[in-house]
Copies of this chain bind each other. A is one copy, B any other.
Amino acid sequence: MTPGGEPIFFRAGGIRFDVADIDRLLEVIRGRSAKTVGLQFPVGLRTKAVELAQEIEAQTGVTCLVSADPSFGACDVPDMPVDLIVHLGHAPMPHLRYNRVFFYDLPSPPLASFAFLDAALPLLPRRVGLLTTTQFRGWLPAIREYLEKKGHEVRIGEPDRRVAYAGQLLGCDYHTATVVEKDVDGYLYVGTGDFHPLGVAILVPDKPVVIADPERGTARNLAEVKDRILRQRHAAIARAHDAQVFGILVSRKIGQERMELAKDLKALAEKHDRRAHIFLMDLVSPESLEGYRVDAWVNTACPRIAIEDVLQYRQPMLTPQEFEIVLGERAWKDYMFDEIRA
């Protein structure tokens, strides 16, 4: 996933983050007697980094190190040589064992208008599963109430070991959607991009997924995007059909590393008389894969890489499940969207 994949709301500075209002953070830093503090930001909060470091240093006397490696989520929390790491803008993944990391919760921005919900209403079935990402999670009670007033039955799926909040979607985990599948006729996703709800649309193919976009104040059904992406996936599988040498990508990032899966896929390739080699890296990017003599890639890192960035790579880029289809171990009718499960 590229920095361009960050939620627009962060990029637009829409997140509520007032450096004057960090008492709780200062308390944590003082409470841990930290001398050095590492600061990690999603791309859209970089504009606040210097101001925050300055304020923390002035108020507590610690030395701050700003982590300038990009951070794409709670899956991506690089270790730092400091007493305490403060990670902003993402909710922790409960199953991961982070080492001296404090996730500094930022409140959701004010819910100023229901226009995006009004736009969604005509597209919604009666029973709705409500979904969002971490930055809008504070809106869910108000949205539920609004929808119920309009006659809808609303379900918000409970979180599990990989997601922190009810109704929260990750780009690699759709548990809060699938757990309420039996009780809903469709989903409403509150957010700005297509990727998170796309996984839901593919995993639950017979129920509509509607996006209500609070930035634009508009809503749309995801069916068309889903069909386009599935055609792309079909094409990637077809292009990889005769590939002899596969490169299996494994991320070093704490919440993206699936080495055991990669080794299983390598063995599966060899069972089918194909060659496969494992490539280990921090950030997967087109530049970092240039020059290697492989016919196709299989991505076990962040699922967005294969789906969103596929056109940037010279060779076909497959998910693990698509690789199984290429090898004849899975049928296209059993197509599954890739998730990273704990």
Asked whether B50 lies within 8 Å of A293 as measured between CB atoms, the reply is yes
Contact A291 B50, CB 8 Å, known A64-B277, A280-B38: no
Check A278–B51 contact: CB distance below 8 A: no
Q: Tell me if A170 is interfacial: C-beta within 8 Å of chain B.
A: no
Residues of A contacting B: mostly: mixed
Is A33 on the interface with B (CB-CB < 8 A)?
no
A80 within 8 A of B: yes
Q: Given B47, B275, B277, B279, which contacts A293 in the complex, CB threshold below 8 Å?
A: B47
What CA separation (Å) do A54 and B275 show in the bound complex?
Answer: 8
Number of copies of this kind of chain in the complex: 2
- Within the complex, what minimum Cβ distance (angstroms) separates A57 from chain B? 8
Q: Across the interface, do A65 and B287 meet the contact criterion of CB distance under 8 Å?
A: no
Contact across chains for B50 and A294 when beta carbons are under 8 A apart: yes
B53 and A287 within 8 A (CB): no
Give Cα A247–Cα B51 distance, bound, in whole angstroms.
12
**Which interface residue of A245, A259, A281 has the most chain B CB atoms within 10 A?**
A281
**Residue of A43, A64, A279 ringed by the most chain B CB atoms within 10 A:** A279
Note all chain B residues with C-beta closer than 8 A to A128.
none
Contact A245 B50, beta carbon cutoff 8 Å: yes
Whether, in the assembled complex, A3 has its beta carbon less than 8 Å from a beta carbon of chain B, the answer is: yes
Q: Is the CB of A66 within 8 A of B3?
A: no
* B-chain residues with CB within 8 Å of residue A65 when the two chains form the complex: 250, 278-280
- CB pair A292–B49 under 8 Å, yes or no, is yes
| Chain A interface residue count, Cβ-Cβ cutoff 8 angstroms | 46
CA distance A78 to B282 in the complex (A): 10
Q: Are A64 and B282 in contact (CB under 8 A)?
A: no
Q: Is A81 an interface residue (CB 8 A)?
A: yes
Q: Bound state CA distance, A35 and B160, in angstroms?
A: 36
- Contact (Cβ within 8 A) B46 A291: yes
Q: Which of A67-75, A104-112, A219-227, A302-310 contacts B (4 or more CB under 8 A)?
A: A67-75
- Indicate whether A263 reaches chain B with its CB closer than 8 angstroms: yes
- For residue A80, give the distance in angstroms from its CB to the closest CB of chain B: 6
- Residues of B contacting A66 with CB < 8 Å? 247, 277-280, 292
> Which residues of A32-62 are within 8 A (CB) of B?
38, 43-44, 46-47, 49-51, 53-54
Q: From the candidates B50, B63, B277, B284, name the one contacting A263 in the complex (CB within 8 A).
A: B63
A50 lies within 8 A of B278 (CB): no
Q: Does A289 contact B (CB under 8 A)?
A: yes
Please judge, given known A-B contacts A81-B259, A245-B50, A259-B81, whether A68 and B277 are in contact too, CB under 8 Å. Answer: no
Supply 20 further A-B pairs (C-beta < 8 A) apart from A46-B291, A63-B266.
Answer: A46-B292, A47-B291, A47-B292, A49-B293, A50-B245, A50-B292, A50-B294, A51-B293, A65-B280, A66-B247, A66-B279, A68-B284, A68-B289, A68-B292, A69-B281, A69-B282, A69-B283, A70-B288, A80-B280, A81-B259
